Structure 1
Amino acid sequence: MNLDNLGKKIKQLRLRQKKTQQQIADECNISKSLLSKIENGQTSSAIATLSKISKVLDVPLSWLLEDNSEQDLVLLSKSERQSKVGDEHMGYSYELLANRSRFTGVEPTIVHVTPKNINLREDAYTHSQDEFIYILKGTIELLYNGSRNLMKEGDTAYFKGTKPHLFIPVDNKGAEVLTLFIETNE
Structure 2
Amino acid sequence: MDLQNIGKKIKQIRLRNQKTQQQIADDCGISKSLLSKIENGQTTSAVATLSRISDALGVQLSWILDDKTEQDIVFQKNSNRQTRFGDEGMGYSYELLANRSKYSGIEPTIVHVTPRKLNQRLDQTYTHSQDEFIYILEGSINLLYDGSEQLMEKGDSAYFQGSKPHLFVPVDDDGAQVLTCFIDRI
Provide the C-alpha distance between the structure 2 equivalents of 1:58 and 1:132, rounded to a whole number of angstroms: 26
1:97 aligned residue: 97
Assess if the C-alpha contact under 8 Å between 2:92 and 2:111 holds in 1: yes
Are 1:177 and 2:178 an aligned pair?
Answer: yes
State which structure, 1 or 2, has the greater radius of gyration over its C-alpha atoms. 2
Alpha-carbon separation, structure 2, partners of 1:91 and 1:133? 16
Structure 2 unaligned spans of 5+: 1-56, 60-68
Deviation at 1:102, TM superposition (A): 1.5
Q: TM-score, structure 2 length as denominator? A: 0.61
Give the structure 1 partner of residue 18 of structure 2: none
C-alpha spacing 1:183/1:92, structure 2 compared with 1 (3 Å):
same
Structural mapping, 1:146-185, within 5 Å: 146-185=147-186
For the aligned residue pairs, the C-alpha RMSD in angstroms reads 1.8
Task: Evaluate the alpha carbon distance shift between residue 119 and residue 92 of structure 1 in structure 2; reply closer, same or farther with a 3 A threshold.
Answer: closer
Rounded Cα–Cα distance in structure 1 between residues aligned with 2:71 and 2:95: 19
In structure 2, relative to structure 1, the CA distance for the partners of 1:166 and 1:104 (3 Å cut) is: same
Aligned length: 120
Correspondence for 2:139: 138
Does residue 122 of structure 2 align to residue 117 of structure 1?
A: no
* Aligned mates of 1:95, 1:154 — CA distance in 2: 19
Q: Which one-letter code corresponds to 1:94 in the other structure?
A: Y
Q: Which amino acid aligns with 1:184?
A: R
Stretches of 4+ moved more than 3 A in 1? 69-72
- Cα pair distance change 1:84/1:101, threshold 3 Å: same
**TM-score in terms of structure 1 length:** 0.61
Specify the code of the residue in structure 2 equivalent to 1:96.
L
Task: Give 5+ residue unaligned stretches, structure 1.
Answer: 1-56, 60-68
Q: Deviations over 1:147-179 (max 9, x none)?
A: 110000000000000000000001011000000
Conserved 8 A contact 2:88-2:119: no
State how 1:6-85 maps to structure 2 within 5 Å.
Answer: 71-85=71-85
| 1:6 aligned residue | none
Give 1:32's aligned residue: none
1:127 aligns with 2:122: no
| 1:82 Cα deviation from its structure 2 partner | 1.3
**Partner AA of 1:179 in structure 2:** T
Tell me the percent identity.
65
Q: What amino acid does structure 2 have at the position aligned with 1:73?
A: I
* C-alpha distance in 2 between matches for 1:99 and 1:71: 11
Give the whole-Å Cα distance in 2 for the aligned partners of 1:71 and 1:113.
Answer: 32
Taking a change above 3 Å as real, the CA distance of residues 119 and 156 of structure 1, as seen in their structure-2 partners, is closer
Does the 8 Å contact 1:70/1:102 carry over to 2? no
Give, as a single letter, the amino acid of the residue that structure 2 aligns with 1:95: E
